[in-house]
Amino acid sequence: MNRTVTYDQALNEAAQIFADARARRDSLPADQAAREAWVPGGPSVTEITALINRQRAQCRERRLANAAA
């Protein structure tokens, strides 16, 4: 079957996949999420763990700032 997808549909589907993956990642401890994300030739598990921790800290800061506003 030929399925034509509009740009908006494709963008919405991609956003949902990204959100689901991020929710899965954030449900795990940072080191476990990093081990699952690691691929040969990419950043090390240590680097990925640090990135995850930075992103989580940024999200916490934004939530606190929004709550205070």
- Compute the distance between CA of residue 36 and CA of residue 45 in angstroms, rounded to an integer: 9
What's the burial of 43, exposed, middle or buried (CB within 10 Å: 0-12/13-18/19+)?
middle
pTM above 0.75, yes or no: yes
58: pLDDT confidence band, cut at 50, 70 and 90? very high
What's the burial of 37, exposed, middle or buried (CB within 10 Å: 0-12/13-18/19+)?
middle
pLDDT (0 to 100) of residue 21: 95
pLDDT score of 2 more than 80: no
pLDDT (0 to 100) of residue 3: 82
pLDDT in tens, 30-56: 999 999 999 999 999 999 999 999 999
- Compute the distance between CA of residue 53 and CA of residue 46 in angstroms, rounded to an integer: 11
pLDDT in tens, 19-37: 999 999 999 999 999 999 9
Q: Which amino acid is at 18?
A: F
